[in-house]
Amino acid sequence: MVVSGGAGFIGSHLCEALLTRGMRVLALDNFITGSRDNLYPLAEHPDFEFRQANVNERIDVEDEVRFVLHFASPASPPQYDANPIHTLKVGTLGTMNMLGLARAKGATFLLASTSEVYGDPLVHPQPESYWGNVNPIGPRGCYDEAKRCAEAFAMAYHRAHGVDTRIIRIFNTHGPRMQVLDGRAVPNFMAQAIRGEPLTVYGDGSQTRSLCYVSDLVRGILAAIEKGDDQPVNLGNPEEVTVLELAQIIVRLSGSSSPIQFRPLPVDDPKQRRPDITRARKLLAWQPEVALEDGLSRTLEYFRRVVPGT
């Protein structure tokens, strides 16, 4: 197994799950957004190897490779705002290079795509057949369009070269190893609640999100590797919650007395986000198992340990 973005939040959990299943794993990361700390639980495993590498450049692997899993990319607005050109490159050049590796090795390729390919959706919930409502020149365009292009690359290699490809569209996911400064709602709210600071809600908080716990997502990824086909499949939790409700739940779970503070809504921030997982249920026999508050409680326990100054 080759996993790009292996030092990232989701990538490191995926590497751990693959090792538990008895597979040899080579993780690649350049630490633009990944963390060495995420690799500590894996470092001493005899079947784990790490290589600091930029997948926007050619990647060569001498050993046999059965699967190439492409998870490298900044994934939150502050991350891709800070690295817009790299974000575009890793979704295009990086995807091409990892597909090239899969083709050379006769390996199955899996692309970690995103719910952001749907943009600010006009269809709700979002099925895989929906083509999306994306602003290509807005501040989120570097990420959204890079992932859309990555999907096009995967299908082109599948059709032109016969590469066995998978595309998963990941919806909002949370859990241990998320960065405190990730910039998305769950890390922001938890860090603020733990510090006793006001929770920052953008807009009026009526926009919705659907939150999946990371262990459920990893099960879905493994199912896609084993049972998936070449067409995209949504992986996420169809339980929908408003951003304001999410903030209130986190305040309650943390026992915080933090107030809620409203600020203007960022440009192109999606108003609704909820996956239609009918296809995942049928194709992969997969659906989330961890309830919203249970998952948030587990993530909160992690943040209590890592938030500075607590």
Mean pLDDT for the stretch of residues 260-279: 91
118 is catalytic: no
Would you call 237 exposed, middle or buried from its count of C-beta atoms within 10 A (0-12, 13-18, 19+)?
Answer: buried
Calpha distance 268→270 (Å, rounded): 6
Domain 178-209+239-273+291-306 -> CATH class: alpha beta
In this structure, CATH architecture of domain 2-173+212-235: 3-Layer(aba) Sandwich (3.40)
Peptide bond before 125: cis, by omega within 30 degrees of 0?
yes
Mean pLDDT for the stretch of residues 163-182: 96
Query: What tens digit of pLDDT does each residue of 198-235 get?
Result: 999 999 999 999 999 999 999 999 999 999 999 999 99
Rounded to a whole number of angstroms, the distance between the first and last alpha carbons of the chain is: 38
pLDDT of residue 58: 94
In contact, 98 and 68? CB cutoff 8 Å: yes
pLDDT of residue 266: 84
Mean pLDDT for the stretch of residues 284-302: 98
Mean pLDDT for the stretch of residues 240-258: 96
pLDDT of residue 299: 98
pLDDT of residue 249: 98
pLDDT of residue 270: 85
**Per-residue pLDDT band at 309 (split at 50, 70, 90):** low
Query: What tens digit of pLDDT does each residue of 57-101 get?
Result: 999 999 999 999 999 999 988 899 899 999 999 999 999 999 999
- Is the confidence at residue 127, as pLDDT, over 80? yes
pLDDT of residue 183: 87
Domains of the chain, by residue range, sit at 2-173+212-235, 178-209+239-273+291-306
- Whole-number mean pLDDT of the chain? 96
- Is the confidence at residue 310, as pLDDT, over 80? no
Mean pLDDT for the stretch of residues 259-277: 90
Mean pLDDT for the stretch of residues 13-34: 97
Query: What tens digit of pLDDT does each residue of 31-57 get?
Result: 999 999 999 999 999 999 999 999 999
For residue 120, give Cα distances in angstroms to 136, 218, 262. Answer: 12, 26, 21
pLDDT of residue 115: 96
Among 80, 118, 143, 157, which one carries the catalytic annotation? 143
pLDDT of residue 179: 93
The total number of residues written for the chain in this structure: 310
Comparing C-alpha atoms, which of 235, 253, 245, 239 is closest to residue 292?
A: 239
- Six-digit token string for 90: 């890793």
pLDDT of residue 269: 81
Q: Are strands 2-4 and 25-29 parallel, antiparallel or unpaired?
A: parallel
